[in-house]
Amino acid sequence: MSTTPRFGLAVRDSGTLPLQILAFCLLWSSAFTAAKVTLLYCPPLLLLTARFLLATAAMFALLGLRRGEWRMSWRDVAIFAGLGLANNAIYLGLNYIGMVTTSSGITAIISSANPVLTALLAAVFLDERLTWRKIAGLLLGVGGVAFIVRSRVRGGLEDPVGICFTLAGLVSLVVGTIAFKRLAPKGGLWLGNAVQNLAAGLALLPLGLSLERVNEIVPDWRLFAGLAYSALVVSVFAYVLWFHLIRVCGATRASAYHFLMPPLGVLFGWLLLGERVEFADLVGILPVALGIYLVTHGASEVIANGARGAANKNSISCSL
């Protein structure tokens, strides 16, 4: 395999970045609601196995239409496979298990704590500056998230065990985020994402078949619709956008957009699932919003510098 790098998303025009961020946040936060719906009709590990393998088939089909996208070194294949275990199999596996007994909204809220752990680890392993302004924003964000989680657990609205599974999944996502930036695998994001989904699907397949019962699957149109949305829209496009934002913005600033997940996740859960929205949820979102501003303020300069640095380091050739 050739090591010639080629990525699937552009960094030429940073003017489209706000739209890319908005699309990522909407897709990522809506995935929690879609997952909650499908979990009513299928056990979590079998559901994820089907999602990952379906997404893999879709991405390989798309790659078949794009010549030159198959070039990737075996080292990078191994890296993307490892990232698939962290970012897909473990992160989503634990999230789905947790969501069996918790709401989609609380899962989205916990996942929004991603920037806190990412910023701390990025300062150690990626040499990203951890300024006082950024620290203040991150503390405000995690404080708002913690306030919401505490209120909902004390009110008996959420299962503490399910929340622990979700927190463990968050740790796996943070490790995957740092590893992606640290190892900097070359090659197309489409092919890399396909490898990740394939590795995750193959890893969860034996676990799902041994720990869960196939006869518990209830064939329902909502299961198929949610599975198609999760696999074809979220696993394909949202993950490609996510890794693109890491490359362009840096790990800390890209992860900061996870602070938008609490209001969006709660909103989708309320609109589509009828999940309760507490006053504490709305209060906790205020410091979260302020935290986003502090962490991402002046992002345009960093984004431009990050894009130029990434291009110089990896000789990136990008196209939408």
Residue range(s) defining the domain that contains residue 179:
14-314
What distance in Å separates the CA atoms of residue 23 and residue 257, rounded to the nearest whole number? 11
| Any domain includes 98 | yes
H helix intervals, 100-233: 104-111, 114-125, 132-154, 160-183, 189-211, 221-228
The pLDDT value recorded for residue 93 is 96
| Any domain includes 8 | no
pLDDT exceeds 60 at position 255: yes
The pLDDT value recorded for residue 122 is 83
pLDDT exceeds 70 at position 74: yes
What distance in Å separates the CA atoms of residue 259 and residue 111, rounded to the nearest whole number? 8
The pLDDT value recorded for residue 6 is 41
Q: Most confidently modeled of 12-16, 90-94, 289-293?
A: 90-94
The pLDDT value recorded for residue 7 is 40
What distance in Å separates the CA atoms of residue 36 and residue 30, rounded to the nearest whole number? 10
What distance in Å separates the CA atoms of residue 273 and residue 291, rounded to the nearest whole number? 28
Of 27-41, 134-148, 178-192, 305-319, the poorest mean pLDDT is in 305-319
The pLDDT value recorded for residue 5 is 37
pLDDT in tens, 268-293: 888 888 888 888 878 887 887 787 77
Quickly state the pLDDT bin for 201 (edges 50, 70, 90): very high
| Any domain includes 74 | yes
The pLDDT value recorded for residue 230 is 93
Contact between 177 and 21 (Cβ < 8 Å): no
Count of domains for the chain: 1
* Across 177-205, average pLDDT: 89
The pLDDT value recorded for residue 133 is 83
* Across 47-75, average pLDDT: 87
Angle between helices 160-183 and 104-111 (to 10 degrees): 40
The pLDDT value recorded for residue 235 is 83
* Across 233-257, average pLDDT: 77
| Any domain includes 320 | no
DSSP 6: -
The mean predicted confidence, pLDDT, of the chain is 81
**Plot region of 71 (φ>0 → left; ψ -120 to 50 → alpha; else → beta):** beta
pLDDT exceeds 80 at position 104: yes
Q: Most confidently modeled of 40-49, 126-135, 300-309?
A: 40-49
* Across 70-91, average pLDDT: 92
| Any domain includes 9 | no
| Any domain includes 24 | yes
The pLDDT value recorded for residue 117 is 78
End-to-end CA distance of the chain: 23
Q: What is the pTM of this model?
A: 0.79
pLDDT in tens, 139-185: 888 888 788 888 888 877 788 899 999 999 999 999 998 998 888 88
| Any domain includes 236 | yes
| Any domain includes 224 | yes
